[in-house]
A = this chain, B = another copy of it.
């Protein structure tokens, strides 16, 4: 029964939004009656909200989600460094962690001009299509990296790297330089430079700067990204 309720909530990943009863019933392949009853319960508990025949995620989920310790702590530690990075570059800054074959974005800060990016806080993207993802891959367990390279490679734009050989080269370059690059592989017109954040030997997160392709100057961004990632890594090491 919990399973059924959870599968309803799962309909909202990874993009949020709002659904009607029938849609939920179809997506979960549960009988309409069952979904109806469960949604009513979930609304009563504050996990869903209802507005005229459509259901959205509820405020209590926001509260609970913000309190998830590992994410909250990482965010809290990282925020000042992301802040520094944003001020140094004035561009959109991301912080993400690995979850399976995907990146989960933990934080994202930006100014008034918003890039047309598919990344959302709490959202997921394929590791292989993003700067953050490549930085994580480059400094993760080698076995996992091989698994990802062996599997089918997702593609978000025509520039997404779907050739495992090219991808391996990119990852090796990142391992050497400590920086991962991404050019229009996640969104057209947007390039990105990323660096891993270490807690000890393994990368526990990565941060990146996303920039409109037309004014992407990697050489100018690299030092700031390095500094931020290094500062955060040092803090994590000292803090535990």
A residues at B contact (CB < 8 Å): 1-3, 5-6, 9, 12-18, 38, 41-42, 45, 47, 49, 56-72, 75-76, 79-80, 83, 86-87, 99, 104, 106, 109-112, 114, 120-124
**A56 and B124 alpha carbons, distance in the complex (Å):** 22
**CB nearest to A16 among chain B residues:** B67
CA A123 to CA B86, docked complex, whole Å:
26
Also in contact, A120 and B80, with CB within 8 A (given A1-B2, A45-B6, A59-B99)? no
Are A17 and B57 within 8 A (Cβ)?
no
A52 nearest CB across to chain B (Å):
14
Please judge, given known A-B contacts A2-B42, A3-B45, A18-B69, whether A111 and B80 are in contact too, CB under 8 Å: yes
Q: Quick one: which of A15, A80, A122 has the most chain B CB within 10 A?
A: A122
How far apart are A66's CB and chain B's nearest CB, in angstroms? 2
Does A110 lie within 8 Å of B61, measured CB to CB? Answer: no
Q: Across the two chains, which residue of chain B brings its CB closest to A83? A: B111
Docked-complex contact B17 and A59, CB < 8 angstroms: no
Residues of B contacting A86 in the complex (Cβ-Cβ under 8 angstroms): 83
- Within the complex, which residue of B5, B65, B111 is in contact with A66, where a contact is CB–CB below 8 Å? B65
Query: Contacts of A13 on B, CB cut-off 8 Å?
Result: 60, 63-64, 67
A69 touches B17 (CB 8 A): yes
Q: List 13 A-B contacts (CB under 8 A).
A: A2-B41, A2-B45, A3-B41, A13-B63, A13-B64, A13-B67, A15-B67, A16-B72, A61-B68, A62-B122, A67-B120, A79-B109, A87-B87
Inter-chain CA distance A68–B123, complex, in Å, is: 11
Contact A69 B57 (CB under 8 A): yes
Once bound together, how far apart are the Cα atoms of A66 and B17, in whole Å?
12
User: Given A56-B69, A111-B80, does the pair A64, B122 have CB atoms closer than 8 Å?
Assistant: yes
CB-contact partner of A64 in B57, B70, B79, B120, under 8 A: B57
Decide yes or no: A123 and B66 within 8 Å by CB, A99-B59, A104-B59 being known contacts.
yes
Does A80 contact B110, Cβ atoms closer than 8 Å? yes
Shortest CB distance A82–B (Å):
9
CA gap between A41 and B7 in the complex, in Å? 13
In contact, B18 and A63 (Cβ under 8 angstroms): no
Q: CB < 8 Å: which of B5, B64, B70, B112 contacts A65?
A: B64
